[in-house]
Structure 1
Amino acid sequence: MMIKRRILMDETDITLQSDVEPHHLFDFILKQREELKRYIRMHNDFQMSLEPLKIDKAPVIVEIMEKAADKAGVGPMAAVAGTISQLSLNFLLNHGAKYVIVDNGGDIALKTNKDVIMGLYAGESSLSGKIGFKIKYQKTPMGICTSSGTVGHSISFGKADSVTVFSSKSSTADALATSIANHATGNEDGEIVENCLAKAEELREYFRGVMVVVGEAAGTIGKIPKLVETDKKVVLGDIFDVY
């Protein structure tokens, strides 16, 4: 039996699918958030920095965020949503789950025992809601995170409709998506896509694949999951099973 839950906690907005009841997950997430807030109160620059920081002894959530930020060359808060997804996934796996999808506002961590499709939402692009990624369960655990300069509330200095990163960890994918999307600059859609892909090339050792969508232009680098047509309009991060 598949269990679906919604967890809302200030900025954290998780849609969860799992084959186990997520007992104590709310308390676990609350603890992670409190540890992060406590660290920020003592280190104000951690929240505001747009570049990686050197940290000393810190809670696990802070250490994971900083490692991801260091790889991507961005501030550690760029990885916060993906890190919470990653920690939540590991929590449920440690409690016996075989199928888990944690979608924290479009920043996804998953480990499944069957294939799933993730729909792509890319603002006003004609591709939005019409294609999806087929995620093979053998390739999980996986982190799938999307950054956008036209959709959502996260900070982006570029104008991509979507930069979707596939990586082994969602903390890393989150930071990389921000970094790559920050380079979505230029006058033409194709030029913007190429600028994003050029930045992605510099970070290639940290991801499996990247897909960039800007208007009617799109490009990929690395190995992204198989693209499939979808027959329903989806929102950022929507995932549904393949039957």
Structure 2
Amino acid sequence: MPVASSEVRHYRTWFRPGEGLVAFRVVYKETDLAILAERDLSLEGLRLVREIRAPLERYIGNHPEFLTALKPLPEDPEAPELVRRMMLAARTARVGPMAAVAGAIAEALGRRLLEEGRTSQVVVENGGDIFLALRRPATVALFAGESPLSGRVGLRLPAELMPCGVCTSSGKIGHSLSLGRAEAVCVIAGDTALADAAATALANLVKGRRSLKKVLARAGEIPGLMGVVAVVEDEIGAWGPAVELVPL
């Protein structure tokens, strides 16, 4: 679940829009988004976020277990599309469906902006979970709290990898539920909801430095992942063909 919108997200000061893109923010209830697009789409973004959240909120109202489950729920073919995407991601990663909510909303908004022709490039960041659709390479900085590696390592994403999701879970940063002790576990996947759910699942496995090998081994067992980077204290581990680490 995204952290409260009143929380100061210091990592957002690292945003560098690049030529032809502008940065703006959209906040609605618990959803707090930092967005890059070819023009300021604040009003359009707010309208779409309301539309995207509405069926999810109704579903939770009728199925309160969806909000609290820590394990995958059975398929529901009558559920809204966003809910079904979250459920599928959760089953794939073996976590509760709300572990995919931030990534799912980020991608849903990004794709709606693209489909409506509002912009031809977009980045949507939702509490450390990011949907990227750019025509040029991008570098995502790895925020890992108090680790000496925080802000010093980035993930370089080639243009041909996008659109994709880059999502991060931590046992020490933010309000999202994590059962582990990772500074950060960052996941790259074509499906942002899956990247979000998998980041939570892998971060839950971290109990100390010795957990790195277990996390990376498990990463290779989750279908659909393209890369994983895990930071535990002052150590870092990586898995996957899409991982290209660069110094910052």
TM-score, normalised relative to structure 1: 0.89
Residue 236 of structure 2 aligns with which residue? 218
- Distance verdict in 2 for CA 1:130–1:88, change over 3 Å: same
TM-score by length of 2: 0.87
Tell me by how many angstroms 1:21 deviates. 4.4
Q: CA RMSD in A?
A: 1.3
Contact 2:27-2:46 at 8 Å conserved across structures: no
Secondary structure at 2:25 match in 1: strand
Task: Give the aligned partner of residue 195 of structure 1.
Answer: 214
Q: Aligned letter for 1:193?
A: L
Q: Which runs of 4+ in 1 moved over 3 A?
A: none
Deviation at residue 118 of structure 1 after TM alignment:
1.0
Q: Is the 8 A contact 2:24 2:40 kept in 1?
A: no
Name which of 128, 131, 134 aligns with 1:106.
Answer: 128
CA contact (8 A) 1:184 1:193 kept: yes
Count matched residues.
226
- Aligned residue number for residue 227 of structure 2: 209
Residue 41 of structure 1: how far off its partner (Å): 0.9
> Residues of 1 paired with 2:80 and 2:45: CA distance?
18
Match for 1:125: what amino acid?
S
Give, in whole Å, the separation in 1 of the partners of 2:145 and 2:242: 20
| Of 32, 35, 38, the match for 2:58 | 38
How much has 1:156 moved relative to structure 2?
A: 0.5
Shift of 1:202: 2.1
- What residue ranges of structure 2 are gaps of 5+ in the alignment? 1-19
**Structure 1 residues without counterparts, runs of 5 or longer:** 231-243
Whether the aligned pair in 2 keeps the contact of 1:25 and 1:91 (CA below 8 Å) is no
1:14 counterpart (14, 17, 33) = 33
Q: Which residue of 2 aligns with 1:74?
A: 95
**2:117 maps to 1:117:** no
Q: For CA contacts below 8 A with separation 6 or more, give which structure has more relative contact order.
A: 1
Could you say what secondary structure the match of 1:202 adopts? coil
Fraction of identical pairs, as percent = 38
Deviates more, 1:67-76 or 1:218-227: 218-227
| Aligned counterparts of 1:39 and 1:160: Cα–Cα separation in 2 | 32
- Structure-2 residue corresponding to 1:137: 159
- Corresponding position: 1:228 with 2:246: yes
